[in-house]
Structure 1
Amino acid sequence: MLRLVMPEAVTVVVDVLAWGVLHAATGYAAHRLGAERLAEDGWLLRARRFEARGTWYRRRLRLHRWKDRVPEAGDLFRGGVSKRQLPSYDVAGLQLFVQETRRAELAHWWAMACGPLFVLWNPPVAAVLLVAYGVVVNLPFILIQRYNRFRTQAVIERRRR
């Protein structure tokens, strides 16, 4: 396999810059998604049986205890929506929040999926570490978005009844 060879110091700088650019690019791409693309959970976003509408995250991961301690950048780009608090408590506000959790989850899945690119210019051990970094950095945010979406969807269902 063809691998770009750079001095070690340059490789480290390229790795740091690449992760920064990839996170910004995937975040911006998700920010640009239209509401129609985020109206429903697709294959990747749909609930899995083991998640039990979010209770798995609470019981097994104690997600409710640490989720508010991680950074939130939903309003980083103009027109974005922060997920620190609900836009409003009516059904429309809750639906907007659900839509934004889908957007954020996709952004983190996309960023994590960029990890294998680091194989192109890093030695095998470094590439594995950089892919692992992508998983470790993005997976907590994916879990938080899923947990919040399932909880909010349950509230929407109760309000509609």
Structure 2
Amino acid sequence: MLRLLIPQGVTILVDIVAWGTFHAATGYAAHRLRDERLESDGWLLRERGFEDGGRWYRRRLRIHRWKDRLPEAGALFTGGLSKRELPSYDGPGLRLFARETRRAELTHWWCMACGPLFVLWNPPLAAGLLVTYGVLVNLPFILIQRYNRFRIQSLLERRYA
């Protein structure tokens, strides 16, 4: 197996580089998606019943207290949009923000989905820890994007429906 051929120090370096590459590659791939593909929620992004328009995240996770402490890299690539604040409060600005939350959420789902690749060159315990790392690092960002998008969609429905 491949993991028997790589010394432990090199494996750790490969793991660090791999996660960095996965984050950058999925971010760039999502950045390159056409805007039309992100105009609505697909199966993965659609709201689930328990989410209650984002209220579940506020009540159960108290997301409004910690979400602004995490880094935001929406403007990392040319033409990207930071989600630190709304681009505008009118309909087009709110729809743009909702679209960009879909883009960011997909980025983190895709990155998290790369985690199982670590079983190819790591021993089982290390692979499990690396997959866990992928979930722990990406899940908070997924939750934030969902919370923000459902709140924006609710506002759009009330104002512009």
Superposition TM-score tier, normalisation by shorter sequence: over 0.9
Cα distance, 1:3 vs. partner?
Answer: 3.2
Q: Amino acid of the residue matched to residue 53 of structure 2?
A: R
Q: Amino acid of the residue matched to residue 3 of structure 1?
A: L
Aligned mates of 1:39, 1:105 — CA distance in 2: 13
| Aligned counterpart, 2:44 | 44
Please report the TM-score for the alignment, with normalisation by the length of structure 1. Answer: 0.98
Cα distance, 1:36 vs. partner?
Answer: 0.8
Please report the TM-score for the alignment, with normalisation by the length of structure 2. Answer: 0.98
Aligned mates of 2:125, 2:76 — CA distance in 1: 33
**Residues 10-89 of structure 1 correspond to what in structure 2 (within 5 A)?**
10-89=10-89
Aligned mates of 1:86, 1:58 — CA distance in 2: 19
Aligned mates of 2:2, 2:152 — CA distance in 1: 46
Q: Amino acid of the residue matched to residue 62 of structure 2?
A: R
Q: Amino acid of the residue matched to residue 160 of structure 2?
A: R
Q: Secondary structure at the match of 2:2?
A: coil
| Aligned counterpart, 1:128 | 128
Cα distance, 1:160 vs. partner?
Answer: 1.1
Q: Percent identity?
A: 72
Q: Amino acid of the residue matched to residue 110 of structure 2?
A: W
| Aligned counterpart, 2:95 | 95
Aligned mates of 2:158, 2:2 — CA distance in 1: 55
Cα distance, 1:96 vs. partner?
Answer: 0.1
Are residue 3 (structure 1) and residue 15 (structure 2) matched?
A: no
Aligned mates of 2:130, 2:2 — CA distance in 1: 15
CA RMSD of aligned residues (A): 0.7
Unpaired runs of 5+ residues, structure 1, are none
Aligned mates of 2:116, 2:11 — CA distance in 1: 15
Cα distance, 1:125 vs. partner?
Answer: 0.1
Are residue 105 (structure 1) and residue 93 (structure 2) matched?
A: no
Aligned mates of 2:69, 2:10 — CA distance in 1: 33
Aligned mates of 1:11, 1:88 — CA distance in 2: 46
Cα distance, 1:70 vs. partner?
Answer: 0.1
Aligned mates of 2:100, 2:160 — CA distance in 1: 20
Aligned mates of 1:115, 1:63 — CA distance in 2: 25
Aligned mates of 1:43, 1:136 — CA distance in 2: 22
